[in-house]
Amino acid sequence: GESVGLHLPTLSVQEGDNSIINCAYSNSASDYFIWYKQESGKGPQFIIDIRSNMDKRQGQRVTVLLNKTVKHLSLQIAATQPGDSAVYFCAEVRGGSEKLVFGKGTKLTVNP
């Protein structure tokens, strides 16, 4: 049969706008949730993480929100810049393991 590739969700924003990238997770036993950024031709790069007992964590221009009730994770990027254009992956670490389980990714395009 015909193979089907992953169709990444895409988000297109204007430079200077704020971006919100969303992710749903399924495992309540995960104790860390993480966001990675992957630029074209490069390996994924750690952005920020959040422990499962927290709701919000802020970094430089980025904020991660965790809603355990609906198993939802989001990454907010303030004042988005062209250099933020990349694929963003959420990942989770399950308790007692070092194994990261990655989501499918969202492609962010920042228009000048």
Partner 1 sequence: DAGVIQSPRHEVTEMGQEVTLRCKPISGHNSLFWYRQTMMRGLELLIYFNNNVPIDDSGMPEDRFSAKMPNASFSTLKIQPSEPRDSAVYFCASSIRRQEQYFGPGTRLTVT
Site residues, partner 1 (CB under 8 A)? 3-6, 32, 34, 41-46, 49, 89, 93, 97-102, 104-105
Asked if residue 16 lies in contact with residue 77, where contact means CB atoms within 8 angstroms, the answer is no
48, two tokens: 């920020």
**Residue closer to partner 1 (CB basis): 47 or 77:** 47
CB 15, min distance to partner 1, A: 27
**Residue closer to partner 1 (CB basis): 5 or 112:** 5
Q: Strand, helix or coil at 109?
A: strand
CB 69, min distance to partner 1, A: 22
Q: How far is residue 59's CA from residue 27's CA, in Å, rounded to a whole number?
A: 25
**Residue closer to partner 1 (CB basis): 51 or 61:** 51
**Residue closer to partner 1 (CB basis): 43 or 83:** 43
| DSSP-derived secondary structure for 59-74 | -SSEEEEEETTTTEEE
CB 10, min distance to partner 1, A: 15
Q: Is the dihedral of CA 77, 21, 36, 56 positive or negative?
A: positive
